Amino acid sequence: MYFSVLLYPCILGMLSLVHAIPVHPDSLKNLVKLQADTIILRIKDHNEKLKLSPKLLIGDPELYPEVPANKPIQGLGSIVETLSTFHKVLQRLPKGHVSQIRNDLFTLLGYLKDRMTSMRCTLKEPANERSLDAFLENNATHHITFGFLALDRLKQFMQKLIVNLDHLKSC
Amino acid sequence: MTRFIMLALLVNFITISQGLAALSPSDGRGGVYEDLKWKALLCCELPFAQTLDGGLSEHPPVGQCQLLNATKPEFSKNCLDILCWLEGERTNLICNAKSYRAAAAASLLTIRPQLVVQMNVLSDETNHAAQCAGEEIAMCSISLHGNDANVSLTISISLNETTAVSPKMQVSTHHLRRPDPPVNLHYNVTIEGEVIFRWSDTQPDGYAINYEIRYSSNSSLQQWEMVKVKGRSWVTLNDLSSGIRYMVQVRCQSHFNYWSEWSQPFYFTLDVSYIPAEVFTTPGSEITVSAVFHNRSWRASKAVWMLNGQEKIPESQYRVINEQVSAVTVTVDEPGFDTLMCCHQWGERFKCIIAYAKIYTEGMFNADITCQSKNSEVDTMSCEWNKSAWAQVRLLYRQYTSMCETISEIEGSEEAEESMSLVKECPSGAGDHRECTLRNLSLFSCYKIWLEVEGGRGKVRSFPVYVLPIDCVKPSSPTVLEATTLPNKTLSVSWRRPHLPVYDMQYELRFVALRGMANTQWKVIGPLLEPQAEIQLEESCVQFEVDVRCRRLNGSGYWSDWSTSYTSVVYNRKAPEMGPDFWRIIQEDPVRSVTNVTLIIKQPVLAGDPYSCVEGLVFEHQASGRAVWSNETTLVQFHSFQWRKEAHTVTVISRNTLGISTRNRNITLLHQPKRRVVHSFSVVANASCVYLSWSLLSNHPVPQSFVIEWLDLNKDPEQDMSLTNRLQWVRVQSTSRDLSLCRRFYGSEEFTLYPVFVDGEGEPVRYTATRGDPAAYILLLIIAFLSVVLFVTLLISQNQMRKLMWKDVPNPNNCSWAKGMDFRQIDTMENLFPHSEGLTACPLLLVSESICEVEIIEKPHPVTLEHVKENEVLIYNSGDKTTTNSTLLADSSDPLSLEASTAAPTPETSGQSSVTYSTVLLSGQPSLHRKQQESLSSSSDEGNFSGNNSDISGSFPGGLWDLENHVCSDSANPRHSSSYNSVEEFSETSDQDYEASESTGVAKDLYYLEVNEEEKEEDEEEIEETQGEWEKNEMVMRVDARPLLEEKDSTAVDTNNISHSIPLYLPQFRTECINPP
């Protein structure tokens, strides 16, 4: 009886300790890489299903700057900011569209935000949000090409993220 | 006082209630709206009450109130200044009534009786009321809850018990605030490329009279372009650039000249605009869609139209409206949703933007909806469909209580409008999803299921399917599966069907033997109508993995999933009798300095009795000085353990549920030197088998058994073939001394023979069986065959050449130099060639122009032949005599005899030819004749052309070479002399000629075969026939050139009077002799 009384607080204490231990950077890198690779493959599958003509070039890189095309990675803050933008873009797609990729991206964003919190990084407010809203407002009705463009740029960012995993160590 | 107030309130309420009925809400008379406030001036006449001195009257006096438009009060009256305004965002309306007397009193500091002001406010819309009172001033607040309202206001004033009530005043809160800014900002593009910007008013019609529009590019928000518009809610915006994000805002001005705030910004970018952006059409109708390129660098002439982003529309369907506008005309034949994209040619690719035109073609399309239902605690039905990736659809369904056939007939005959209240939407059927699961449905209700394209106004949808879920049930898998392998080679299986659905079931059963896991070929049996089955097997004692599935017996439905696999139980009546045979592999691990032993169990493990099957093994270990321990396993093929280089005995025991085997085999591993018992071990391989044999040393104990193991050396050990898989072995009885293994061998296996004793192993013996590639043998055979063919060809060709060469050999009797000569006499020869030195010293030269013919006359010499025969026997059969005779012959410088004597022991050598020339054909001994003829017929020819075959076989060209290079060489050289003595080279007589030319010098007469012109044309057979006739007449052609080539008195043979009897062949050559100086 006394043993149980002592045991429970110990277990609870250990659990809370475990919860407080931040994810090891290498573990995070592995997780991010796995998740990013998964997203890349899902995007490839999705865009291949559309069977768009390979001659089509939807959205020059200089067009639609609201969706980050080639944004530099300068640490966790910039990664989270860019991923938040992509998440917002994907959320504007109609119900049921790319829902799995959206979930994957949300999971990845959650990992990185947790990491930022544990590193006491300041979460940046997304820039040009109003402009992004306007872009979404105007274009989300053309959800196929809109999604294709957004996913293509997200894929590029994921590829860049995979080769810049060391930036996860800095804010 | 209190009574007074009560009375006043009562009057007010009565007044208000009357006023509500009498006045319209919009009636706002009496006041003015100014600066977002409502203002009014209320003046009341209050008759002075005379009751102060004379006592109270029964009825108090009542005053009169009047709303004045004048801004200045009448001082003769009691006036109130009333002011109403909004507080916050339409949260409250505040009204204030203030007496002018209060202001005057404050200034004049006179003491006057107090004026009591009481105000009542009532919101018509919400029926909220507020009441407030005060002396000289009163302020009321009423909540509006953010809405506009018409508010009624009444005021009563009292002074010295005299009361006056104001008329009802009406205040509209709508006029107390600024107008809302316009909403729904958007733009259209005309076919000419003009951008028309539009918005909507939030005010009542006609309320707004003026608008202002400002727009700016996103990058320079400080520089606004302003446009004023009066009386309309649209404006044309010019000079907009493409690719730039613009922000536009609009505000409006009300009748009271209040300007609204600026509207929410509207952002837009001009790139490509479609006119119309959405098209509704019917199948087969032509539609035309235009695209406006706002980008000036994009030209309509370079426009490329794409259908659904996949298919380029032919350019013949394009039309250039102007430089920036392209149009396309298409016909969509099938109902559904399509898109049109207008892109710009850019090299081989097409630059496109996000926007596209949407085409909704009314009608029903085929979506291939298929459903599968599941009958369990909660009945569900999962439906799948196909759709275009571009279409945004949703799955709709409706439940009916009638039969599906009835409903489909009714709906097929008339286009009944769907009652949308009964239609449900699958919550997870939109977007990318192509399947949806309906839950809590009734298996016996008919469901109508269809897809609807969003945005298609309900007119673009798929053909519906009518589904009775009971007809498409995929049942749960059968359960409680049991299987037993019986001794009578039967697999008995039983199972339990799912409870639901309740209809009759049929079953399918599949099973696979667990022995040899590589073979996973399932065997399927079915359909079965009962939940049990008995399957005849090829062998007993085998465990099987068994699965069962079920489906509806009669009617439509789906097969269930296969049940959870069940491994059959092997039925046993007793424990196994004997343990398995096994062998071991010993592997050193240099890294960990341990020795690993792997036991290989002979498969299959037999127990010896079908009623005592082996289900597993027990490995019993016993190391020296340590306890016995054991491992129990299933029927494994390998078992490994570490060996500490001590005496270690392992016993492998078979087991089943009833016990373990009693007759078991064991193995003892010893580190000490092994005894040697094998004397020899050899391995011989042929194409398909390997034969092994061995012998043991004597005086050694006989082993218990032998084990022969070998490795498949042709398999790459680097691959997944471990040593345990590559090693093969076989156990042999101790009495056996040989073994034949017939299986596939690669010819490079190393066989190791282990004698196995009770207390350990003897010294192994290894032998590598090597066998060439079978192809090499075949190649060798082919080469040998070709050699034979070549050889035969050479023989034939040589024969032909000889015929050609000797066809024209002349008869010496016809030669001028032989006129009158009798060639049968040896003297003639001597007379003919009186200078024998020259002849012997010089080789003969062929003179082609000399054509001679010699007639040979038969003259039998039986005595001489006998002598020759004796001589021959001497040469062949008597070694001593041969030596003697050889010496004799050597002394006589007869090269043929010398060659015969040396060649006799090795008949394969070229000496055989020499024998030919020293053999005499005896007509009286046909057998010998034939024998020699057979054995020498080929070698004689060979001797003519083969340079290394015989000394006497020097070829004719060789003779010429010799002549040129060794002209008049030493006459004593027997090789040279014999070379040109060859009968074959200069005569076309048969082999018997050679035999007749026996060099013993017995014959004295010279013969020559006369060949007539007709005979020259005859073939070899005819010649042989002639020879046959000659043999009958004892005619022998004897040819020996030796007398022609030797010095007359130089041989010993001459001395014994034999040389005179040698029949000579007269050469038909005229030679040029160059005597040595």
Residue A48, chain B, CB below 8 Å: the answer is no
Contacts of A134 in chain B (CB under 8 A): 245, 247, 265-268
Q: Which of B187, B310, B354, B436 to mutate to test the interface with A (most CBs of A within 10 A)?
A: B354
Distances in Å between the alpha carbon of B720 and those of B381, B590, B716? 47, 21, 8
Residue B531 reports pLDDT greater than 60: yes
Q: How high is the pLDDT of residue B778?
A: 78
Q: Which residues contact B757 (CB under 8 A, 6 or more apart)?
A: B675, B701, B703, B704
Q: Is the CB of B309 less than 8 angstroms away from the CB of A144?
A: yes
pLDDT band at B205 (very low <50, low <70, confident <90, very high): low
Q: CA B1048, CA B830: separation in Å to the nearest integer? A: 9
pLDDT in tens, B547-567: 999 999 988 999 999 999 999
Q: How high is the pLDDT of residue B361?
A: 94
pTM over 0.90: no
**Nearest Cα to Cα of residue B995 among B945, B886, B922, B905:** B922
Q: Which of B16-25, B293-302, B460-469 has the lowest mean pLDDT?
A: B16-25
Residue B359 reports pLDDT greater than 50: yes
Distance between B431 CA and the closest CA of chain A, angstroms: 4
Highest mean pLDDT among B60-74, B130-144, B248-262, B347-361: B347-361
CATH of the domain at A107: 1.20.1250.10
pLDDT band at B1061 (very low <50, low <70, confident <90, very high): very low
pLDDT band at B202 (very low <50, low <70, confident <90, very high): confident
Region B182-202: mean pLDDT is 88
Q: Is the CB of B389 less than 8 angstroms away from the CB of A50?
A: yes
Q: CA B235, CA B893: separation in Å to the nearest integer? A: 141
- Give the three-class secondary structure for B635: coil
pLDDT in tens, A2-25: 545 555 555 545 544 444 445 566
For tokens 């006491």, what's the residue? A120
Residue pair B1037/B1007 in contact (Cβ under 8 Å)? The answer is yes
Angle at B537 (CA atoms; ends B533, B538), nearest 5 degrees: 170
Contacts of B355 in chain A (CB under 8 A): 139, 142, 145
Domain annotation covers residue A120: yes
Domain annotation covers residue A7: no
Residue A19, H or E segment: helix A2-20
pLDDT band at B365 (very low <50, low <70, confident <90, very high): very high
A97, closest residue in chain B (CA to CA): B431
Residue pair B821/B1026 in contact (Cβ under 8 Å)? The answer is no
pLDDT in tens, B378-416: 889 999 998 888 888 889 999 988 888 888 777 765 555
Q: Which of B220-229, B552-561, B998-1007 has the lowest mean pLDDT?
A: B998-1007
pLDDT in tens, B944-966: 333 333 333 333 333 333 333 44
Q: Which residue has the higher pLDDT, B1076 or A50?
A: A50
Residue B194 reports pLDDT greater than 50: yes
Q: CA B82, CA B73: separation in Å to the nearest integer? A: 12
Domain annotation covers residue A112: yes
Q: Which residue has the higher pLDDT, B57 or B460?
A: B460
Q: Which of B139-148, B701-710, B1038-1047 has the lowest mean pLDDT?
A: B1038-1047
- Give the three-class secondary structure for B850: coil
Evaluated on CA atoms B526, B560, B498, B442, the torsion sign reads negative
**Nearest Cα to Cα of residue B101 among B93, B110, B90:** B110
Contacts of B354 in chain A (CB under 8 A): 58-59, 64, 139, 142, 145-146, 149
Residue B111 reports pLDDT greater than 50: yes
Contacts of B428 in chain A (CB under 8 A): 96
Q: CA B379, CA B864: separation in Å to the nearest integer? A: 126
How many residues can be counted in chain B?
1077
Residue A53 — φ and ψ, nearest 5°? -60, 135
Nearest to B309 among A56, A64, A97 (CB): A56
pLDDT band at B325 (very low <50, low <70, confident <90, very high): very high
Distance between A42 CA and the closest CA of chain B, angstroms: 13
Q: Which of B110-119, B178-187, B1047-1056 has the lowest mean pLDDT?
A: B1047-1056
Residue B970 reports pLDDT greater than 80: no
Q: Which residue has the higher pLDDT, B441 or B1051?
A: B441
Residue A94, chain B, CB below 8 Å: the answer is yes
Residue pair B850/B816 in contact (Cβ under 8 Å)? The answer is no
- The structure tokens listed for B481 are 């599966």
pLDDT band at B998 (very low <50, low <70, confident <90, very high): very low
Contacts of A53 in chain B (CB under 8 A): 306, 309-312, 350
β-pairing, B689-696 with B738-742?
A: antiparallel
Residue A151, chain B, CB below 8 Å: the answer is no
Q: Is the CB of A53 less than 8 angstroms away from the CB of B243?
A: no
Residue A98, chain B, CB below 8 Å: the answer is yes
Contacts of A55 in chain B (CB under 8 A): 348-350
Residue A56, chain B, CB below 8 Å: the answer is yes
Residue B775 reports pLDDT greater than 70: no
Helices (H) and strands (E) in chain A, counts: 6, 1
Q: CA B720, CA B722: separation in Å to the nearest integer? A: 6
**Nearest Cα to Cα of residue A137 among B187, B167, B739:** B187
Residue B108 — φ and ψ, nearest 5°? -90, -15
- Give the three-class secondary structure for B185: strand
pLDDT band at B996 (very low <50, low <70, confident <90, very high): very low
Q: Is the CB of A94 less than 8 angstroms away from the CB of B352?
A: no
Nearest to B352 among A49, A51, A57 (CB): A57
B436, closest residue in chain A (CA to CA): A96
Angle at A163 (CA atoms; ends A160, A166), nearest 5 degrees: 115
Q: CA B643, CA B630: separation in Å to the nearest integer? A: 14
Please report, in angstroms and rounded to a whole number, the separation of the first and last CA atoms in chain A.
49
- Maximum Cα–Cα distance across chain B: 221
Evaluated on CA atoms B873, B878, B884, B890, the torsion sign reads positive
Q: CA B747, CA B733: separation in Å to the nearest integer? A: 25
Q: Is the CB of A63 less than 8 angstroms away from the CB of B271?
A: yes
Distance between B376 CA and the closest CA of chain A, angstroms: 28
Distance between A147 CA and the closest CA of chain B, angstroms: 9
Q: CA B613: distance to chain centroid?
A: 42
pLDDT in tens, B780-832: 888 899 999 999 999 998 888 887 766 655 666 666 666 666 655 555 555 55
Q: CA B122, CA B21: separation in Å to the nearest integer? A: 13
DSSP A71: P
Q: How high is the pLDDT of residue B213?
A: 92
Residue B253 reports pLDDT greater than 80: yes
Residue pair A80/A117 in contact (Cβ under 8 Å)? The answer is no
Strand partners, B245: B269
Domain annotation covers residue A123: yes
Distance between A107 CA and the closest CA of chain B, angstroms: 20
Residue A8, H or E segment: helix A2-20
Contacts of B270 in chain A (CB under 8 A): none
Distance between B147 CA and the closest CA of chain A, angstroms: 29
- The structure tokens listed for B500 are 């639901």
Strand partners, B750: B768
pLDDT in tens, A68-96: 878 888 888 889 989 999 999 999 888 87
For tokens 């910004």, what's the residue? B265
Domain annotation covers residue A80: yes
Q: How high is the pLDDT of residue B103?
A: 58
Nearest to B354 among A46, A93, A149 (CB): A149
Domain annotation covers residue A12: no
Residue B529 reports pLDDT greater than 90: yes
Highest mean pLDDT among A66-75, B6-15, B91-100, B520-529: B520-529
Region B624-651: mean pLDDT is 86
Q: Which residues contact B739 (CB under 8 A, 6 or more apart)?
A: B691, B692, B693, B708, B730, B732
Q: CA B849, CA B897: separation in Å to the nearest integer? A: 34
pLDDT in tens, B892-920: 333 333 333 333 333 333 333 333 333 33
Domain annotation covers residue A79: yes
Q: Is the CB of B432 less than 8 angstroms away from the CB of A138?
A: no
Q: Is the CB of A53 less than 8 angstroms away from the CB of B428?
A: no
Residue pair B181/B210 in contact (Cβ under 8 Å)? The answer is no
Residue B12 reports pLDDT greater than 50: no
- Give the three-class secondary structure for B438: strand
- The structure tokens listed for B579 are 């343990």
Residue A31 reports pLDDT greater than 50: yes
Average predicted confidence (pLDDT) for chain B: 72
**SS3 for B448-505, per residue?**
EEEEEECCCCCCEEECCEEECHHHHECCCCCEEEEEEEECCCEEEEEEECCCCCCCCE
B311, closest residue in chain A (CA to CA): A53
Q: Which residue has the higher pLDDT, B55 or B737?
A: B737
Contacts of A67 in chain B (CB under 8 A): none
Residues of B with CB under 8 A from a CB of A: 218, 243, 245, 247, 265-269, 271, 306, 309-312, 339, 341, 343, 346, 348-356, 389-390, 392, 428-433, 454
- Give the three-class secondary structure for A128: coil
**SS3 for B947-999, per residue?**
CCCCHHHCCHHHHHHHHHHCCCCCCCCHHHHHHCCCHHHHCCCCHHHHHHCCC
Q: How high is the pLDDT of residue B615?
A: 84
- Give the three-class secondary structure for B756: strand
Residue B600 reports pLDDT greater than 70: yes
Residue B180 reports pLDDT greater than 80: yes
Distances in Å between the alpha carbon of B724 and those of B194, B603, B668, B706? 84, 14, 19, 19
pLDDT in tens, B858-879: 444 444 444 444 444 334 443 3
Nearest to A99 among B353, B431, B454 (CB): B431
Residue B140 — φ and ψ, nearest 5°? -120, 150
Region B651-657: mean pLDDT is 91
Region B491-507: mean pLDDT is 93
pLDDT band at B592 (very low <50, low <70, confident <90, very high): confident
Q: Is the CB of B341 less than 8 angstroms away from the CB of A145?
A: yes
Residue B993 reports pLDDT greater than 70: no
Residue pair B654/B617 in contact (Cβ under 8 Å)? The answer is yes
Q: How high is the pLDDT of residue B901?
A: 35
Domain annotation covers residue A101: yes
Question: Burial letters for B172-198: b for 16+ Cβ neighbours within 10 Å, e otherwise?
Answer: bbbbbbebbbbeebebebeeebebebe
> Domain containing A59: what range?
24-169
Q: CA B308, CA B938: separation in Å to the nearest integer? A: 91
Region B968-980: mean pLDDT is 38
- Give the three-class secondary structure for B139: strand
Region B175-181: mean pLDDT is 84
Q: Is the CB of A145 less than 8 angstroms away from the CB of B354?
A: yes
Residue B524 reports pLDDT greater than 90: yes
Query: How many domains are there within chain A?
Result: 1
Region B39-61: mean pLDDT is 63
pLDDT in tens, B1013-1026: 444 444 444 444 44
Q: Is the CB of B268 less than 8 angstroms away from the CB of A134?
A: yes
pLDDT in tens, A123-169: 877 777 777 888 888 888 898 999 999 999 999 999 999 998 888 88
